[in-house]
Every structure is written in structure tokens, then in C-alpha cells.
Amino acid sequence: MESQANGGEEGLFVPPVEPSASSNKPNGTPLVDLTEPDGKSKPLNTGELSDDEALFTPAQAREATGQSHGGKIVAWREQDRPKPVIVRYGPQNAAKYERSTAAKEDNDFDERETEQFGPDHRLGDQKLVKKFVRRRRELLGIAGLAYNCALNDLKPREKGETRKVAPLEIWVKWEIGGVIQKTWEIRSSIRHLFSSPKKCDVYIYKAAKWHAARHEEWQNGQREAKDRSPTPLPNSRLSPTPDPSQPEIKVEDNSNPLAATSSTALSKASNRAAMLQYREQWCDLKGIDPENMEPAAEGRFLKAWNEIKDSL
């Protein structure tokens, strides 16, 4: 593992080194004076700037041996070897994330400029006097998920099912005290924000499907690559994306997840159905029983509905 971390992985093609290239004194004659007037050494640089074009970089070596994957390390965890990392594939607005190790990725990142994840960097499971301090309203959405399994393996387990749950990291967007933050969380650090563990798992699975669809659209040339963070799912007002089996609903970049794609006006009946669906999701997000809403909560719901109904 240590040899991998130092770039010495077996099978890695590296350029041959000429014997004279490692010495400043071939045949006993210095190539250049390395001493400054004050007695300090100075850098050896006898070539032209254009010589950089002849460099064979570690990235080229990985590509030559079929190890290049186009991924970028975006987060790392402080831990003895192997050091866990999260790798992003694709542009920021349609990214796919995977879990990996620094050694496997040839330590190709700068720890000082890369985000960290792990227990000391999570916000979801912070406690005060043994009580969770995060509230549901602070969770704006899921901006990405890092996993190494098939998408279907993230499906919530049914009652009595013994299938092993695939590990994953969840990139959560928060608004805490008016400050926007993003942290890598795990299932257990955000489950307490939902009315049940099952609802949290369903939400995570829907978010994974949504982000996977965006990445696939980018791969197929249907989504433009942009160097900005992805739109989280959901936004601050909405709960998870409706099931894809409902064709009239489509999630768009920077648009309301309940915006309809059809230009046909909704009938009175379908408009009521859309309102009831949104009401159920809104109440679920707020942790409110839709059948026993207080007048104040009813007023907040109607205000939210009036803001989005024209886009349906």
C-alpha cells in the first residue's frame, strides 16, 4: 500500500532515467554553479521553458497503463492507510461520486485545498446535552451521493429483508443560522431529521436516482457541463422528487422539482390532485401530520402552494 501511495505501483510505466541525469557532475565536471554569492545553493535549471512539453507526468503514466479514469478527488478523511477519499466523475452540475482510497488514486490531490469528511466534519449528528441540534428545516437537500454499488442496491430494505445495505456518503446542503454549508454525511447522521428511518432511506434512494439521471444525461450529451455545484434535491421548500412513473412531472436544473413539462393547463381535478400531492410532501418535509394541521401551518402551506402552483 505504501508503494502505491508513493507512486511506485507495480505495472506503472515510467520513463527511463539516463545515468547522467541524476548527477550534477558527469565525468566529475559540474554542469552549473549551484552556489549563490552568499554561499546558499540555488535551483538547478538549465533548460528552456519549452522543455516542459517533453515532461512525462504521473497523469500520463496512469493513462498509458490504462489506469486513468478522469476522476477528481474532492474530499478525504484523516485516517491511517488506506486513507479514504471521495472521487468525482463528470462536471459539477452532473457529477457522479465514488468512494475510494488515496493510494488507489495515487495520492493525486492536495490535502490543504481539499475538503475533509468523517465524524469530526459532519453537522447532522452534532449533539448538545445528548440531544441532536440539527432540525429538518435546516436541511436544504442532497447535492450528491458517493457509492460503489449498483443504483438498485441503494433501495430501502423491505420488512424482514436481510440484504446488506451498501455504504455511502451523502453530500448535504444546509442552511444553519443563515449560513449555507455543505458536508458529507452518512445515513445515521441525518435519519433523526425524518419521521422514520424508512422515509429517510426512501428519500436517499430518490436523490440517488435523480443525480444518476443527471449524470447519464450529461454522458449522452443531453445536459451541458457547468463548473458549479449541482442543484440539491430537494430545494428548501420541497421534499423528495416524485416517482418517475408519473410522466407529467420532471425535475429540471434550477427549476422546481414539481414543475410540469406539459404546457397543457391542468384540469380542476388534476390541479387538486397536484395540490394534495404537494401537501403530503410539504408536510413530510416539515414533520407535520397533514390530517391535523394547525391554522398557522395551513397558512404556511397555502403560501408555499401559491408560490409554485403557476408552474404546474
> Is residue 156 one of the residues assigned to a domain?
yes
Q: How far apart are CA 102 and CA 108, in angstroms?
A: 7
pTM over 0.75? The answer is no
- Grid cell locating 173: 446542503
> Is residue 42 one of the residues assigned to a domain?
no
Q: Are residues 195 and 93 in the same domain?
A: yes
> Is the per-residue pLDDT at 3 higher than 50?
no
Of 40, 68, 96, the residue at which a domain comes to its end is: 68
Residue range(s) defining the domain that contains residue 10: 1-25+57-68
Q: How high is the pLDDT of residue 108? A: 73
How far is the CA of 113 from the CAs of 31, 123, 172, 180, 190, in angstroms?
37, 20, 20, 19, 26
Q: How many domains does the chain have?
A: 3
Q: Are residues 223 and 262 in the same domain?
A: no
> Is residue 74 one of the residues assigned to a domain?
yes
What percent of the chain clears pLDDT 90, i.e. is strictly above it? 29
> Is residue 159 one of the residues assigned to a domain?
yes
Q: Are residues 134 and 277 in the same domain?
A: no
Q: How high is the pLDDT of residue 298? A: 82
Read off the pLDDT band of 201 (50, 70, 90). Answer: very high
- 123 compared with 261, residue with greater pLDDT: 123
Q: Are residues 75 and 200 in the same domain?
A: yes
Q: Are residues 20 and 109 in the same domain?
A: no
Q: Are residues 75 and 213 in the same domain?
A: yes
> Is residue 300 one of the residues assigned to a domain?
yes
CB neighbourhood size of 94 (10 A): 23
- 40 compared with 68, residue with greater pLDDT: 40
Q: Which span out of 19-33, 77-91, 241-255, 280-294 was modeled with the highest average pLDDT?
A: 77-91
Q: Are residues 79 and 227 in the same domain?
A: yes
> Is residue 244 one of the residues assigned to a domain?
no
Q: Are residues 222 and 97 in the same domain?
A: yes
Read off the pLDDT band of 187 (50, 70, 90). Answer: very high
Q: Are residues 64 and 105 in the same domain?
A: no
Q: How far apart are CA 87 and CA 169, in angstroms?
A: 11
Of 41, 68, 95, the residue at which a domain comes to its end is: 68
> Is residue 241 one of the residues assigned to a domain?
no
Contact 279, 301 (CB under 8 A): yes
- 305 compared with 229, residue with greater pLDDT: 305
> Is residue 242 one of the residues assigned to a domain?
no
- Grid cell locating 178: 443563515
What percent of the chain clears pLDDT 70, i.e. is strictly above it? 62
CA atoms lying within 13 Å on the CB side of residue 61: 17
Q: Are residues 64 and 111 in the same domain?
A: no
Mean pLDDT over residues 268-291, rounded? 74
Mean pLDDT over residues 11-26, rounded? 46
130-161 pLDDT tens trace: 899 999 999 989 999 999 999 999 999 888 88
Mean pLDDT over residues 186-211, rounded? 92
Q: Are residues 74 and 174 in the same domain?
A: yes
Q: Are residues 73 and 199 in the same domain?
A: yes
> Is the per-residue pLDDT at 26 higher than 60?
no
Of 68, 103, 122, the residue at which a domain comes to its end is: 68
